[in-house]
Structure formats: structure tokens, C-alpha cells
Amino acid sequence: MSGDGEHWLIIPTYEEAANLEAIVGAVREELPAPRRVLIVDDASPDGTGEIADRLAAEHDDVEVLHRAAKRGLGPAYVAGFRRALAQGADLVAQMDADFSHDPSDLPRLVAAARDADLVLGSRYVGGGGVEEWGALRRAISRAGSAYARGALGVGLRDLTGGFKVFRRAVLEAIDLDSLSSLGYAFQIETTYRALRSGFRVVEVPITFRERRVGESKMSKRIIAEAAWRVPTMRVRGR
Ligand SMILES: Nc1nc2c(ncn2[C@@H]2O[C@H](COP(=O)(O)OP(=O)(O)OP(=O)(O)O)[C@@H](O)[C@H]2O)c(=O)[nH]1
Ligand SMILES: [Mg+2]
């Protein structure tokens, strides 16, 4: 199978035309080989999908999954996970396209997956942090992780982050079909399911930075979704 043993990286994009070429260039330098970079674009109106196609044509290790409409980060990741599994991925990493996640952290996260099943890039363990966020957004993010930690009864510090590395077995075990969360709740739910399935989850410190360019898509709706979904995850998990 073509993808055997490969390190896959999934980058979901919506209106990231200003970031995409630079982030793909950076991750191609940092992600340990053998590698495959999968861009999952939801028909961005700003031409991100066309840039992605050009990058895929230029580089053998880059491919694109086009989705017909913007349907949220969670479903975009599920589609990407399926593609990676179908093609034999061994490790599947995920990160944002906007440089909030530092490509030079990739080797450390991938290395941590040698002794863990799921690696979380974590802002809230020693050595991790957030730059350039105002007090309000910091408070919301920390409160979100604290709330989820309490409600789910888990010890992890950063449950809402989107910089993660999964071993293949985790994605096979967590029933991608029944994941329906769109935003932060999606990140919480995949990690929670991994824990419940008995996988070893570790946190590796990262510094998160404000997006380099482009509009913020964080919304009250995505926060509200996480707030009401977290208790339902626990009930389902019993
Ligand atoms: N395919 C797809 N990608 C998305 C969607 N929503 C967000 N993204 C991408 O997912 C990643 C994280 O989204 P962001 O908009 O950066 O979310 P955030 O980091 O919480 O907020 P800001 O950086 O402030 O906008 C980025 O690479 C986005 O382009 C979506 O509906 N579909
Ligand atoms: Mg962002």
C-alpha cells in the first residue's frame, strides 16, 4: 500500500489563501519523512482550493481533498482521517493553517508518538503557553479546558487544542462515524474517546500564537457547542 508507515499531516482550510503556501512549505521541511500532507478545503471563496491544487501539482507529497461547502472543522477532519486511514497512514497529525501552531514543533510531537497513542500539543503544561492573546480569550480558553476536564473527569490540561498526533489504532477505534461536533467540542471528543478506549495520551508543551493573517473564525456558537456537548459525551461514554 502506498501510504504504509507514512506520517500524514492534515491541514483543514477555510479562507487561508494568505497562509497556505507558506504553511505547506514549512511543514514539508519539518514533518519527518516519509510524509504526506493533506489539505482539506471547504470550497473557500478566497481561492485557497486553487492554491492547494497548485501545491499538490508541484509536490508529490501534497494532496487535496475538496469538500463542497463549509461544514465545520470536525467534519473536515473526519474526511481527512478517513482518507489517511484508507491510504495506510501510520501516524496522523493535525494542525491549523494559520501559523498558530509552529511547524517546527512537528518533529517533537511526532517523536512523542513513539511512546504514546495520542500526542496533544499543549498550551497548559509547563513550558507551554499562548502569545498575543488578550486576557479575555486566554480566560475563555483556560476555562474551556478546565470545564471539560472537570465534566469528563480527565487529568489532561489542554483539551481544546488542535495540534495533535494520532497513532492509526486510535482513529480506527474511536468510531469516526458518530463524531458530529464542529469546533472545540470535536477536539475534546476525539481525545476523550481515545482515553476511554484505554489509549495512552500525552501532552507536549507548545507555544500557541495568534493567527498570522486572515480573519478569526472563532464564534460564540462554537464555544456554546462545546459547553453543551461536553456533558453529553460523558453520558454516552458510560
Ligand atoms: N475545511 C475547513 N477548515 C476550517 C473550517 N473552519 C475552520 N477551518 C480551518 O481550521 C483551522 C482552525 O480554524 P481557525 O479559524 O484558525 O480557528 P481558531 O484558531 O479557533 O480561530 P482564529 O485563528 O482566531 O480564526 C484553520 O486552518 C482554518 O482555516 C471549516 O469549516 N472547514
Ligand atoms: Mg486559528
DSSP-assigned states of every residue in 172-200: HHS-GGG----SHHHHHHHHHHHHHTT--
What's the rounded Cα separation, in Å, for the pair 15 and 19?
9
Residue 120, helix vs strand vs coil: strand
The percentage of the chain sitting over the pLDDT mark of 70, rounded to a whole number, equals: 97
Q: Give, for 15, the enclosing helix (H) or strand (E).
A: none
Asked if 157 and 145 touch (Cβ cutoff 8 Å), the reply is yes
* pTM confidence score: 0.93
What is the number of the ligand 1 atom nearest to the C-alpha of 210? 23
Ligand 1, pocket-test mutation among 16, 77, 98, 219, most atoms within 8 A of CB = 98
Binding site membership of 42 for ligand 1 (Cβ less than 6 Å): yes
> Are the C-beta atoms of residues 199 and 173 closer than 8 Å to each other?
yes
**Taking CA 196 as the corner, what is the angle to CA 168 and CA 112, rounded to the nearest 5 degrees?**
45
Is 42's pLDDT higher than 80? yes
> Please, which residues have CB within 8 angstroms of residue 97's CB and are 6 or more apart in sequence?
11, 12, 13, 16, 19, 20, 23, 39
Please tell me if the CB atom of residue 72 comes closer than 6 angstroms to any atom of ligand 1.
yes
Residue given cell 473526519 in the structure block: 78
- For residue range 183-196, what is the model confidence (pLDDT) as tens digits? 889 999 999 999 99
Compute the Cα dihedral for 123, 127, 81, 63 and give only its sign.
positive
pLDDT top residue among 119 and 237: 119
Q: Is 230 in the pocket of ligand 1 (CB under 6 A)?
A: no
**156 C-alpha vs ligand 1 centroid, how far in Å?**
23
For ligand 1, say whether the CB of 80 is within 6 Å of any of its atoms: no
- Closest C-alpha among 159, 76, 109 to residue 7: 109
Task: State the average pLDDT for the chain.
Answer: 93
Q: Which of 111-115, 141-145, 226-230 has the highest mean pLDDT?
A: 111-115
pLDDT value at 109 more than 70? yes
Whole-number pLDDT of residue 225: 87
Cα separations in angstroms, 226 against 21, 157, 187, 199: 31, 16, 9, 23
Which strands sit side by side in the sheet containing 35-41, from one edge to the other?
A: 62-66, 35-41, 7-13, 91-94, 164-167, 118-122, 201-205
Model pLDDT, residue 136: 87
Q: What is the mean pLDDT of residues 14-21?
A: 97
Quickly count: other Cβ atoms within 10 Å of residue 186's Cβ: 25
Give the Å distance between the CA of 162 and the centre of ligand 1.
10
Looking at residue 237, its pLDDT comes to: 67
Distance 145 CA to ligand 1 centre (A): 18
Average pLDDT over residues 106-112: 98
> Using CA atoms, how far apart are residues 121 and 164, in angstroms rounded to an integer?
6
Q: Is 13 in the pocket of ligand 1 (CB under 6 A)?
A: yes
- pLDDT at residue 62 above 70? yes
